Structures are given as structure tokens and as C-alpha cells.
Structure 1
């Protein structure tokens, strides 16, 4: 990408076989977000921040964060950006760039992931998996991740986490909601028969709170910052 990334992103969306909604952004908020990220609109990250409130992908299953959005979560809100751009501020543990309805979180690794107890290299996408309560390093940058999402490769990625009729449940959610699964996704019962679980819409913030609770109870490594919703 040698010019602004937004036309490239629009091209990915137009050629995608997935259902993709572009959330409208607020120009001044997008510019402020771009300034805080300290990137240009030539990057996919900057292009999304400046030109949109984010993307809602695959019947609402995945939310990609943008610069601002009226009725959902923006990159600035989720990552607790300062009210005014501050070149000395860096995101805690890494930059949250998206999430899925089950409580999975996609993060762009920080400069020192080892100090946060996270795998992978700086600038690499990580995924916090709600069925294992652990971080997985994905072999891709942010722009590669966006291309991967929109190319439909998430179908295989989420194969073990989807049930018959998931599309209807996912697309009925608001942008502030996720799906609570019981028995919980990390339980032996859910791993054995996901379709037999009960599911209900809950505030996405509740899913993140439960994640922190259960990692502590199970004496697993704390996931660190998963975003503010």
C-alpha cells in the first residue's frame, strides 16, 4: 500500500463473501484517534481510524474497531486513549483492535510483549481465546489480519466455536452485547457438545469481567488488559 489504505480496505470489503457493515465515524474523533496512534492513513490501522467507526463482520460475529462510533465501542474508548493526543502515552499491554461475540479479543502486540506475559513479537496480532482463556499469537500484522478476516478464513478458525443457527443469534445483538455460553466455553461440557449449551445476550463488558474472574479462579496466567467496554 503506497497511498491511503482506505480504498484498499473498501476493495477488500467489496470482494468479501462475508456480510460486512461499515460503521460511520465522526471526522474530528477519527483525526484525534489517528494522532494518538501516531500512524498515517497509509496504514490499515490509520485508514480505519480516520474513515470509519469500525467494521461489523460475518453476521455481527466480529467487530473491528475504528476511530469513533455513535452506538458501540471505538478504538479510543476500548483502549482508554487520553482525552487529547499525548505522544508519551502508550496502550497498556498492546492495542485492542477487535473482538468477537464470544469474548475473544484481538490485540496488536506491544513493544515488549514478554513483560506482559504474552507470546509473539511486537506488532503481531494476538487472539485471546475464550475457550482456553489463553493468548494465541497469529502470524500476521494488522493489515494481514484485516485481509484474513475479510477473505473468509475465519470460517475455519471458528469452526469449533459455532453451532447451528449461530448467525441468527449473532446478528440480533447490539454492538454493546456478546453471547454468554453456559456451561462456559472453557468447560469440558462445552468442549464436548457446544450445541447443547444454553446461550443468552449479555453486555460485552460482562463477558470480559467473567474472563478475568475465571482465569484467577483457575490459577491461570492473568490475561492483562482486554479492553474497556
Structure 2
């Protein structure tokens, strides 16, 4: 198999690991994305896997979606799922100030401890509840997080993208949804490119082949 073919094979799979506080909606998000249905019962996750195929720049890519437990009881087990991750989906609830603050206090330190160079996509969940006046009236402890605050957090942690979503409605505001789709595809394209480049370099030691420029390397893809 040629270096280009091997790289292409490796690049057709992306491992996404979801992390974040318990009960922010990580499992619902993955179930809705892969099965197109909204689960009504809350069952805390330890580990679970989902799979979905997406089209990226005209090619079909398989997403391996790993669901993890956010509770402190599983802090020693959770990192076992991090091995081989290509991207982290770091989630917080748009109606929970605590989950928002834990992105900086808890989750980023943990991710950077185990895999310091893996890209992070920041996701604000439960968008429908942020706009639900009845829910907010019934839950006075809820504290809404604005889009501007989410973007500011993205900058603070160096995430490659910030996306807001609602698993229950399975849609976002129309103008924002189109932007989200562009962000998602852009992140996937970047991950695939780096996986291809890494595999080509791995299969072609410097003493056997040394590109004179990035363009010479990319022509193999």
C-alpha cells in the first residue's frame, strides 16, 4: 500500500471524545445525532460508544463518538477513553453556571494533562431551555450563559470552535445553524489533513524521503 493510500485509510476515521459535567446533555446530544431521537430518561453514563458517517469535502468519514461520565466518581476511569482521540467535544449547559465555570476549572486542566495538543470543540447544550421562559421561572437557580460568554470562553481555552445546540429540538437558530455546519466541517477537514500528514511522515522516514516544501508533501494526498 502506498503512503498516500495508507494515509487516506487512516484519515477516514475520527475519534471524538465527549467530556463535561454530569447531566449537561452529552449522551442526549450523541443519541440525537446518531439515532435522530431524544431520550426521555436520564441514565448516568460510565462509557458508551456511538458511530456516525459524515461527508467532509466530498468524502465519507466515520465518526467514532465516545461518551464519558462527568461525575467525580469516574475521574480515574474516564481518561482510559482518551487514548487515540483526535478531538474532544467539551460540553457545558447553557442554563448552568457551574458547568460553564468547570470548563476552565476542571475539564481543560484534565484534557491538557493527558493530551495537551488535541483540538477541543466547545459546545453549549440545552439551547432550547435558555429561551424557555416557563423553564426559567420554574428553575430559579438556573443561570443562562449567553452566546457572547460562550465565545469568550472559547477564546480563553483556545478551542477551535464554539457551537450551541439543542438535542430536544435538534436544531439551532437558523442563522447560527449554518455557521455551526461550516465550523464542524472545517474542524473535520483540519483533523483529516493532520492525520494524513502524520501517516505519510511515519511511513516515509526522513532518510528515505524528505519533502522540500509543504506543497510537495500535500501533493501525495
TM-score normalised to structure 1 length? 0.28
Q: Which of structures 1 and 2 has the larger relative contact order (alpha carbons within 8 angstroms, sep 6+)?
A: 2
Greater Rg, structure 1 or structure 2? 2
TM-score normalised to structure 2 length? 0.28
Going by fraction, where is helix more abundant, 1 or 2?
2
